[in-house]
Amino acid sequence: MRLDKFICKHTPYSHQRSRWLIANGRVRVAGRVVRDSRAWVDRFVSVWLDDEQLQGRPAHYLMLNKPRGYLSATEDPQHPTVLELLPRELHPELHIGGRLDRSTSGLLILTNDGLWSRRLTEPKQKVPKVYRVVTLEPITPETAQRFAEGIYLAYEGLTTSPAQLQLLGEREARLTIYEGRYHQVKRMFAQVGNRVTALHRESMGGIALDPLLSPGEYRTLTEAEIASVSA
């Protein structure tokens, strides 16, 4: 939102008066006086008019190494949730960007920036998501070709985008998908007559799970990781 419109929206002042306040150095954005009424203000940057703070909600972008056994949910009466691994004061702020089921481990993103997380997770964005998969049965040579052609998911009535499968062993592989639909990896393997016994997400787009994070640990994303989720 333009700064003059922001001031007008968050104060009793008219657009003309808002522009006058900005031009006369009465407005600070991110701690600096801004005199350009056309300057852009996002929803997390701090904005002050004289001694009154008009906006100051901090943005949170976190990566968590999700352990198995935790639900990707804000609360549950029976099972522990991933929010229980984070400071309690952050609980009301955060939502999960790209859920993992209870038996799946690995990279989980939590944020309070809804627009940013939608760019990361919406199927139409085609953001690559990389999983390490262990299966019950040996992975057949035909599996990679089937995944590259796309797997029909009856519940959604659609065919998945071409996926890449890299064999790591007889029953282990690295799979890259582009939608992240409900239980997608498990359903894809079920369609070729196999069953996933262990699933671990390694990366989403340009954000890879930090190898220094033990299961249950988290850290703030770097500026480069946040910026990798392009508009």
Q: Into which CATH architecture does domain 58-125+209-231 fall?
A: 2-Layer Sandwich (3.30)
CATH code 3.30.70.1560 region(s) in the chain: 128-204
Query: Is the distance from CB of 223 to CB of 215 less than 8 angstroms?
Result: no
Mean pLDDT value across the chain: 93
Asked whether residue 230 carries a pLDDT value surpassing 80, the answer given is no
pLDDT digits (tens, 9 = 90+) for 131-147: 999 999 999 999 999 99
CATH topology of domain 3-55: 3.10.290
* Residue given tokens 């996933």 in the structure block: 196
Q: E strands, 27-111, where? A: 27-29, 32-33, 47-49, 52-55, 61-66, 95-97, 104-111
Q: Return the CATH class of domain 128-204.
A: alpha beta
Name the residue with higher pLDDT: 84 or 53.
Answer: 84
pLDDT at 56 over 90: no
Q: How far apart are CA 133 and CA 206, in angstroms?
A: 20
Catalytic sites, residue numbers: 101
What is the torsion angle, in degrees rounded to the nearest 10, for the CA atoms of residue 113, residue 117, residue 118 and residue 120? 150
CATH 3.10.290.10 in the chain is located at 3-55
Q: Is the pLDDT of residue 44 over 80?
A: no
